[in-house]
Amino acid sequence: MPKPSRSVSGSRNTTGVLPQAANEKDIADQTTLGSAGQHHEESTLDPGVYEGLAGFRLAMRHFFAYSETTVTAAGITSQQYQALLAIKVAPQSEVTMKDLARQMLLQPNGAVQLVDRMVVAGLVKRTQATKDKRSVFVGLTPEGQSLLEELALGHVREMLLHEPLLAESLARLRRLAKLL
C-alpha cells in the first residue's frame, strides 16, 4: 500500500502517495514515514537549524506567556490587544471593519463581535465613514490608547529581555539557510 507523502518545502503532493521512484537513488531519497508521522531516516539538516528553531521558539514562548499573563491581568484578551495594535498603526489610528478583520485573520462577523466587546469595554469607538456610509471606522478611545501604551511598554521590555536568544537564534538560522 502506498505511504502518505509529507512535504516540508511547501510544495504539496496532492495525490497523497509518494511518486514512483525512477531508480534506486530516488528510492533512497524518499522519506519513509511511520504511523505517527515520524521520519525513520536521519535528518539531512544541520543540527544548528534545530538549535536555531528551538531557541527562537523558546524566546517566543516566553514572550507569549508574558503577554497572555499581562493582558489577562489588564482585563482584556490577547485578541483584543492585537486589535488595539492593529488600530494604532493604521492611518490616523482608525481602521475599517473590513481591514481589521483581514489583519486579525477573522471573518467579518468575528471582527464585528470583537469590536462590540471592545466598545462595551470602552477601548474603541465606531464612526461612520463620511464618503461611504456603509463603511465603519474603528478608533481608539482615550482609555484604549492609555491601556495600549501601558501594555506596549511592558511588551517591548519583555522582548528586549529575550533579545540575545532571539538574535543568536535568528543569526544561526540566517547562516545555515545559505546551506539549504
Q: Is residue 39 part of a domain?
A: no
Q: Is residue 140 part of a domain?
A: yes
Q: Which pLDDT does position 27 carry in this prediction?
A: 36
Residues 141-167 as b/e (b if ≥16 CB within 10 A, e otherwise) read eeebbebbeebeeebeebbeebeeebe
Q: Is residue 150 part of a domain?
A: yes
Q: How far is CA 23 from CA 5, 39, 55, in A?
A: 18, 21, 39
Model confidence over 85-124: pLDDT tens digits?
Answer: 999 999 999 999 999 999 999 999 999 999 999 999 999 9
Q: What is the mean pLDDT of residues 135-144?
A: 96
CATH number at residue 161: 1.10.10.10
Q: Is residue 94 part of a domain?
A: yes
Q: Is residue 143 part of a domain?
A: yes
Q: Tell me the whole-structure pTM to 2 decimals.
A: 0.72
Domain that holds residue 150: 47-177
What's the structural domain count of the chain? 1
Which among 4-13, 21-30, 50-59, 127-136 has the top mean pLDDT? 50-59
Q: Is residue 80 part of a domain?
A: yes
Nearest to 100 by CA among 135, 71, 69: 135
Over the chain, what is the mean pLDDT?
Answer: 82
Q: Which pLDDT does position 137 carry in this prediction?
A: 95
Who contacts 49 (Cβ-Cβ below 8 Å, separation ≥6)?
173, 176, 180
Q: Is residue 152 part of a domain?
A: yes
Q: Is residue 162 part of a domain?
A: yes
Query: Kind and range of the H or E element at 126?
Result: strand 124-128
